[in-house]
Amino acid sequence: MSIRVHALAKELKLSSKELLAKLKQFKIKAKGHMSALDEQTAKILREGLKAKPKAEAKTPKTSKPPKAKAKPKKAEAKPKKAKAKPEEVTEEKAKSLRVKIPLTVKELAIKLETKPSELIKRMMGMKVMATINQLLDEETIKGIVKEFGFSLERLPNLEDELLEVHQQEDAPKELSARAPVVTMMGHVDHGKTSLLDLIRKTKVAYREVGGITQHIGAYEVTVEGKKITFLDTPGHEAFTAMRARGADTTDIVVLVVAADDGMMPQTIEAIDHARAAGVPIVVAINKCDLPNINIAKVKAQLSQHNLVPEDMGGETIVVNVSAKTGQGIDNLLEMLLLEAEMLELKANPHRPAKGVVIESKLSRGTGPTATILVQNGSLTLGDILICGDYYARIKSMVNDRGEPVKEVAPANPVEISGLSGVPEAGEAFYVVKDEKKARDFSFRRLEEKRLKGKASIAHISLEDLYQQIKEGKIKELKIIVKADVQGSLEALLTALQKLTSKDVVAIKVIHSGVGNVNASDIMLAAASNAIVLGFHVSTESQAKPVAEKEKVDIRLYNIIYEATADIKSALEGMLEPHLKEVFLGKAQVRQMFKITKVGSVAGCMVLAGKMIKEAHCRVVRDNEEVFKGKISSLRRFKEDVKEVSAGNECGIVINNFKNTRSADIIECFEIEKIARRL
Ligand code: GDP
C-alpha cells in the first residue's frame, strides 16, 4: 500500500514541506505533497522519523518540535524511554566491535546495544536507508560502527566458516594427475556436435555391453588408460556464459574448422573467447573426407590468427579429422592428452570436493538436478554441499553412462539430485560438513538476493572507468570492437592503438569483428569485464536484454573520432553521462476501472508509437506533467502484454500512481545514456 506524502507527514507530525525536504535529502523522488510513496519507503521513513526524543539536541535547526496541537495518539510514550536511556558508548575510545558480516540492522543494533529504531534513525542521518531486517554489507557496517565510536573487527561469517576447509592448500604429495576438461568450439555447422557424438559413441567405456550413453552435459572417455572429459555443450556462448558466472571449467579448447569452409566469423569469435579465458587451443580441421578441399589454405588462415601449425614452424597442434569416417579421431585424442600433459593438470582426491555446475534442471519426480564437474577433491553420495544460492544432501549420483555411482574423482562429471533449488550453470559448489549451517547459508543468500533485487554485478563502464583507475582496480581497459565493414574496423582499431601509448591504462582489444553487437559479444564482455564499442552497427535484439542483465556498457558510434575521444576522456576521468529521453509512444486515457488484485487500471487508446511495459512514462494533464514513473502493467484483453502499438486499446497501470483521470495523456519513453562529447 502506498501512501501520499501529506498523509505520511501528518502521521509523522511533520509538515509536508518538512517531509519533502527530508525526502530530497535522502534522494527519494517526490514531486509534491500529493506524490505517493511506496510501502517500503514509507516503512523506512516511519521507523526513522517517528520517535523524536527531545534529548536529541544535535538535531539540525530546521526541524521544529511537533506542533503542540498534535494529539497524544496511541501510546507514544517511547520518546521518554529513549530520553531516559543514556547515549551510546560513543565517548569511549574506538573499541573494536566484533561482528559477522553480513548482518541485519536488528542484529547490528543488538551489537551496538541500541534500539533498532534508534539505529535506523542514525543511519538516516548518514543517508543510509534500511529496514530492520535488511542485511547490511561490510562497507555500510564499517561506516555505522565508526559513527558509534567503534572500529570494526570482522569475525569469520557463516560462509567463511563453511568454506574454511576449501581454503587450505593441497600438500604436493597428495596431488595426482587429473583428466583435462575439453570444450569444442567453432563456426556453426563445422561439425562440433558430430565430433562430440562420434567420440562419445566410440570411446566411452561401458562397464556392461549394451549400456547407453546418458546426456548429462559432459562425458568422460578413456584413451590408452588415460581420461579426457568433454563438455557436451559446444560453442563459445555456453563457455563464456559459464565464465561470466565466474567458472573456469575448460582446460583445452578444440577449435573445429571445416576443411571446405575455412575460417568463418564464429571461428574467430571462438579464438578470441578462448584467448580471453587464457585456454590453450588445439585445432581440428574437420570434414577431411570431403573431395576438393584445401587444407593448406585453412592452415594459412589459422596462421593469420596467430595459430601457426607445427608443420609451418609454429606451436599450434592441428589435426585433420572427419566426424563422418572417424579419420584422425584417435590422433586428436592423443594430442589432447599431450597438451594436458604439458599443462600438468593436478588435483587432490583426498579432500572434500568442490567444483562447478555444468547444467541444471527441474525434473519431475526427482526435483532439482544438476550435472556438476568435480574440480578438486572427491564427491561422495550423501555429501552435503552448498551450490550457488542453494544447498544439498546428495541423494543420488548418476554418471555419463547412466550408472549410479557412490564416489566421484576430480575432473569427473556426474548428475546429482537432492538440491534445494535449481542452481545456474557456472555456479560453484563446495562440500561442507554441517547440513544445518548449509541450510542457513542458503536461506541467507536467498534473502540477501531478494532484498537486493536481482541486480547482478555491474561491469565496467566508461563513466566509472576513471574512478576505478584511481582506485587501482583496473590496469587495462578491455574492449570488444564491432564494425560494419572490415575497412572501418581496421581504421577504428588503428585509432585505438594510437591512444594506448599515451595513457597509464593499456587498451586491449580482446575481440573484434564485422557485424552487429550480438549476445556472445555481451557475454564475453561480461566474463572479461570489457566494454563493447560498435561502429556503424546496432545491437541485436537478443543481445539487449543480456546486456541489461549483465550490465555491460555498449557504446555505438558513427564517427571514429567520437569513439576515440570518448575513450580518451574516460581515461582522463572527464566523461559524465548525459541522459536523454527518447519518445516511444503516447496513449490517451479513456476510462478508469478497477480490477481485483491489480487495482485501478487506466483504459487507454494508443495514439502514437508504442506503449511498452516497464518503460518510463509520464502523465500529462492539461499540458502539465502530473506524474513521472514506470508502466508497471500493460494489458490487452485481460492478457499481460509487453507492448501495444498505435491504434489499439490497452489497460495501463503506472507504479505508485492511482490518480489517472479520463483524458490524461500517458507518454512512454526510454532514457538513453549518451556519452559527453569533448
Ligand atoms: P555444429 O553446428 O558445429 O555442431 O555442426 P554439426 O555437427 O551439427 O554438423 C553440421 C553438418 O556437417 C551436419 O550435416 C553433419 O552431418 C556434417 N558433418 C559434420 N562433420 C562432418 C564430416 O567430418 N564430414 C562430412 N562430410 N560432414 C560432416
Beta strand 252-258 with 281-286 is parallel
Place of cell 580518451: 568
Whole-number pLDDT of residue 66: 39
Whole-number pLDDT of residue 93: 52
53 upstream amide cis, omega within 30 of 0: no
- Give, in order, the Cα–Cα distances in Å from 429 to each of 349, 356, 375, 480, 647: 16, 6, 10, 31, 52
Distance, C-alpha 632 to centroid of its chain = 23
Query: What does the pLDDT average to over 141-160?
Result: 82
191 CB near ligand 1 (under 6 Å): yes
Residue nearest to atom 14 of ligand 1 (CA): 189
* CA 426–ligand 1 middle distance (angstroms): 28
Place of cell 582506485: 471
Residue nearest to atom 9 of ligand 1 (CA): 191
Residue nearest to atom 2 of ligand 1 (CA): 189
Residue 188 scores a pLDDT above 60: yes
189 CB near ligand 1 (under 6 Å): yes
Lowest mean pLDDT among 77-81, 330-334, 602-606: 77-81
Query: How sure is the predictor about 52, in pLDDT bands with cuts at 50, 70 and 90?
Result: very low
* CA 189–ligand 1 middle distance (angstroms): 6
Residue 473 scores a pLDDT above 90: no
Residue 472 scores a pLDDT above 80: no
Residue nearest to atom 11 of ligand 1 (CA): 189
Q: Which amino acid is at 437?
A: K
322 CB near ligand 1 (under 6 Å): yes
Alpha helices in 129-235 (DSSP H): 138-147, 158-167, 192-203
* CA 286–ligand 1 middle distance (angstroms): 8
* CA 133–ligand 1 middle distance (angstroms): 56
- Cβ-defined contacts of 60-67 (< 8 Å, 24+): 62/18, 62/21, 63/18, 64/18, 66/13, 66/14, 67/13
Higher pLDDT: 658 or 294? It is 294
Query: How sure is the predictor about 70, in pLDDT bands with cuts at 50, 70 and 90?
Result: very low
* CA 179–ligand 1 middle distance (angstroms): 27
Residue 449 scores a pLDDT above 80: no
* CA 255–ligand 1 middle distance (angstroms): 14
> Do residues 523 and 542 make contact, with C-beta atoms less than 8 angstroms apart?
no
* CA 542–ligand 1 middle distance (angstroms): 26
Residue nearest to atom 10 of ligand 1 (CA): 189
Q: Taking the CB of residue 583, how many other CB atoms lie within 10 A of it?
A: 11
Query: What does the pLDDT average to over 668-673?
Result: 84
**Which ligand 1 atom sits nearest the alpha carbon of residue 188?**
2
Query: How sure is the predictor about 81, in pLDDT bands with cuts at 50, 70 and 90?
Result: very low
* CA 322–ligand 1 middle distance (angstroms): 9
Residue 385 scores a pLDDT above 50: yes
Beta strand 181-186 with 252-258 is parallel
Distance, C-alpha 145 to centroid of its chain = 30
Which grid coordinates are listed for 461? 563502464
Lowest mean pLDDT among 162-166, 343-347, 462-466, 544-548: 462-466
Residue 187 scores a pLDDT above 50: yes
Beta strand 476-483 with 506-514 is parallel
Separation of alpha carbons 103 and 464, rounded Å: 28
Whole-number pLDDT of residue 378: 94
Q: What percent of the chain has pLDDT over 90?
A: 36
Residue 607 scores a pLDDT above 70: yes
The CA angle 378-382-383, to the nearest 5 degrees, is: 45
* CA 483–ligand 1 middle distance (angstroms): 30
**Which ligand 1 atom sits nearest the alpha carbon of residue 234?**
4
Residue nearest to atom 25 of ligand 1 (CA): 287
289 CB near ligand 1 (under 6 Å): yes
Higher pLDDT: 448 or 586? It is 586
Query: What does the pLDDT average to over 334-352?
Result: 92
* CA 520–ligand 1 middle distance (angstroms): 22
Which grid coordinates are listed for 456? 547482478
Closest to 423 (Cα-Cα) out of 475, 378, 373: 373
Lowest mean pLDDT among 217-231, 261-275, 465-479, 575-589: 465-479
Q: Which DSSP string do the residues of 247-270 spell out, in sequence order?
A: ----SEEEEEEETTT-S-HHHHHH
* CA 519–ligand 1 middle distance (angstroms): 24
What count of Cα atoms within 13 Å lies in the side-chain half-sphere of residue 67?
A: 11
* CA 194–ligand 1 middle distance (angstroms): 6
Q: Taking the CB of residue 173, how many other CB atoms lie within 10 A of it?
A: 7
Global model pTM greater than 0.75: no
DSSP 172: G
Separation of alpha carbons 343 and 107, rounded Å: 48
325 CB near ligand 1 (under 6 Å): no
Burial 519-541 (b: 16+ CB within 10 A, else e): bbbbbbbbbbbbbbbbbbbebbe
188 CB near ligand 1 (under 6 Å): yes
Q: What percent of the chain has pLDDT over 70?
A: 84
Distance, C-alpha 80 to centroid of its chain = 48
Which grid coordinates are listed for 262? 575455412
List, for residues 213-264, the tens digit of each pLDDT value: 567 788 999 888 899 999 988 878 878 888 877 788 999 999 999 999 999 9
* CA 191–ligand 1 middle distance (angstroms): 4
**Which ligand 1 atom sits nearest the alpha carbon of residue 187?**
3
What count of Cα atoms within 13 Å lies in the side-chain half-sphere of residue 55?
A: 14
For a substitution probing ligand 1, which of 194, 199, 266 has the most ligand atoms within 8 Å of its CB? 194
Higher pLDDT: 673 or 198? It is 198
For a substitution probing ligand 1, which of 189, 260, 288, 290 has the most ligand atoms within 8 Å of its CB? 189
Whole-number pLDDT of residue 51: 46
Helical pair 265-276 and 519-528, crossing angle rounded to 10 deg: 10
193 CB near ligand 1 (under 6 Å): yes
Whole-number pLDDT of residue 474: 66
Whole-number pLDDT of residue 464: 66
Contacts of 527 (CB under 8 A, 6+ apart): 240, 241, 243, 244, 276, 277
468 CB near ligand 1 (under 6 Å): no
> Do residues 90 and 148 make contact, with C-beta atoms less than 8 angstroms apart?
yes
Separation of alpha carbons 560 and 489, rounded Å: 10
Beta strand 624-636 with 616-621 is antiparallel
* CA 60–ligand 1 middle distance (angstroms): 75
Lowest mean pLDDT among 107-121, 123-137, 276-290, 528-542: 123-137
Higher pLDDT: 651 or 449? It is 651
Local structure of 34: helix, strand or coil = coil
Alpha-carbon dihedral of residues 513, 516, 521, 526, nearest 10 degrees? 130
* CA 270–ligand 1 middle distance (angstroms): 17
Residue nearest to atom 19 of ligand 1 (CA): 191
List, for residues 475-486, the tens digit of each pLDDT value: 778 899 999 988
Place of cell 511506496: 38
Residue 95 scores a pLDDT above 60: yes
Whole-number pLDDT of residue 75: 39
List, for residues 404-441, the tens digit of each pLDDT value: 999 999 999 999 999 999 898 888 999 999 899 899 88
286 CB near ligand 1 (under 6 Å): yes
Question: Which of 233-242, 501-510, 581-590, 656-665 is most confident?
Answer: 581-590
Longest Cα–Cα distance in the chain:
98
Structural domains in the chain, sorted by start = 3-55 (1.10.10.2480), 92-155 (no CATH), 179-344 (3.40.50.300), 354-452 (2.40.30.10), 465-574 (3.40.50.10050), 578-674 (2.40.30.10)
**Which ligand 1 atom sits nearest the alpha carbon of residue 325?**
23
**Which ligand 1 atom sits nearest the alpha carbon of residue 194?**
7
Whole-number pLDDT of residue 466: 65
Query: How sure is the predictor about 209, in pLDDT bands with cuts at 50, 70 and 90?
Result: very low
Residue 364 scores a pLDDT above 50: yes
* CA 218–ligand 1 middle distance (angstroms): 20
194 CB near ligand 1 (under 6 Å): yes
Whole-number pLDDT of residue 512: 92
260 CB near ligand 1 (under 6 Å): no
520 CB near ligand 1 (under 6 Å): no
* CA 319–ligand 1 middle distance (angstroms): 16
**Which ligand 1 atom sits nearest the alpha carbon of residue 322?**
23
Residue nearest to atom 24 of ligand 1 (CA): 287
Whole-number pLDDT of residue 211: 53
Residue 457 scores a pLDDT above 90: no
Q: Which amino acid is at 358?
A: I
* CA 659–ligand 1 middle distance (angstroms): 61
Query: How sure is the predictor about 190, in pLDDT bands with cuts at 50, 70 and 90?
Result: very high
Higher pLDDT: 678 or 442? It is 442
Question: Which of 84-93, 122-131, 242-251 is most confident?
Answer: 242-251
Closest to 554 (Cα-Cα) out of 582, 583, 523: 523
Residue nearest to atom 26 of ligand 1 (CA): 287
Query: How sure is the predictor about 305, in pLDDT bands with cuts at 50, 70 and 90?
Result: very high
φ/ψ (deg, to 5) at 120: -60, -40
Whole-number pLDDT of residue 551: 82
Mean pLDDT of the chain: 82
Closest to 485 (Cα-Cα) out of 465, 510, 512: 512
